[in-house]
Every structure is written in C-alpha cells, then in structure tokens.
Structure 1
C-alpha cells in the first residue's frame, strides 16, 4: 500500500500537476509529473474515471497502481508530484502490463528532465 504521507490529496496541487507537468502516455496510462517543489517528498495521486469500468474494476486498477507506484517511490526525486491517470484499456490489463507502462512513462519523464 502507498504510504499516507506520499498520497496526493491537495486539489490545487493535483490541478497544477496535470496542467503544468510533463505528460507521457501509453495506451493504458497517462502520467503527469511536475517538479512542484514540495518539501514532503514525492507525492502520487491517481485518476480512474468511470470510463474505465464499474466500481469493482476501478478499485482493482487503483489498487494495482498504488502497489506499483509504492515500489517505484525510491526512483523519484523528493520534490516531484506525479498524477497517474488510468485509461479505459487499463481495465483489461494485468499487473505486469501496468508495471511496464508505468516504468515506460516514468523513464520518459526522467529522460525529458535530464535533457
């Protein structure tokens, strides 16, 4: 489970990240990452709309994404804010596919920031 201290709960920061952050996507996920200057360490939020499926499917996708993100927190710099948006194709994806998509998006973000 993603630690409570790493969860993005501030609506303004959520909005700023999706609007100002760098966006990288795959057919199943879109990741918005913004170096928002937080001092609390990396923060992660999730968007899983009704287009993904019913409540059972949405919650399963969120649980998988939270688990995968927790494993990747150590790779994120301390001031980054990340919003992971699940697309409808994520409903049929298994955990390995979501992990590959998340890794691909985070790697693209790292490459863009380092360039």
Structure 2
C-alpha cells in the first residue's frame, strides 16, 4: 500500500499536475509529472494520484488496476525527487496486464515524462 502521506487527494492537486506538468505516454498509461515550485520543495513528500476512468472497465477491473499500480509505486516512491507530483492515467489497454507488464509500462512513461520536462 502506498503510504498515506504520498497519496494525492485534493482535486486541485490533480488538476494542477495534469494541466501544468510534463507528460509521458506508453501504450497503457500516461504519466503527468510536475516539479516543485518553491523553496521548501525538499521538505514536501512526493504526491502520487491515479485516474482510472470507467472506459477501462467495471469497478472490479478499475480497483484491481489501481491496487496493482499503488503496489508498484509504493516501492518506487522513494526514488522520486521530493516535492514532485505524479498522476498516472490508465487507458483501457491496461486491462488484463500483469503487474510486471504495468511496471514496465510505467517505467517507460515516467522516463518519457522526465525527458519532456528537461
């Protein structure tokens, strides 16, 4: 489970990250990445949020994908720079993928988002 202090909850945080951040896309996921914009960014935790629309599938499928991604990002959240905000948007093609496949998709999308930020 992703630690509570790393979970993005406020709709304003989601909106700001999606609109103002850089994007990286793979076949099943899109990662929106926003760097910190303050002097106290080192003291803020990295926030992670998920967007899994109904087009992906029913509630069982959406919740399963969210759990898989939360589990993957729990291990990776310490690698991200502090103060960053990250939103993972899931596409319908993610349905039925294993955790290792989703992990590879996330790594690809995250690398593209980091590259687009520079």
CA distance, structure 2, for counterparts of residue 110 and residue 51 of structure 1: 27
Q: Render the CA deviation track for 1:33-66: whole Å, top value 9, x for unaligned.
A: 0013454210000000100100000000000000
More contact order relative to length (CA 8 Å, sep ≥ 6): 2
CA distance, structure 1, for counterparts of residue 116 and residue 19 of structure 2: 17
What residue in structure 2 maps to residue 69 of structure 1? 73
| TM-score, normalised with respect to structure 1 | 0.92
Deviates more, 1:33-42 or 1:13-22: 33-42
Q: Render the CA deviation track for 1:77-110: whole Å, top value 9, x for unaligned.
A: 0010000000001112111110001111222233
| TM-score, normalised with respect to structure 2 | 0.90
Aligned CA-pair RMSD: 1.3
Gaps of 5+ in 2: none
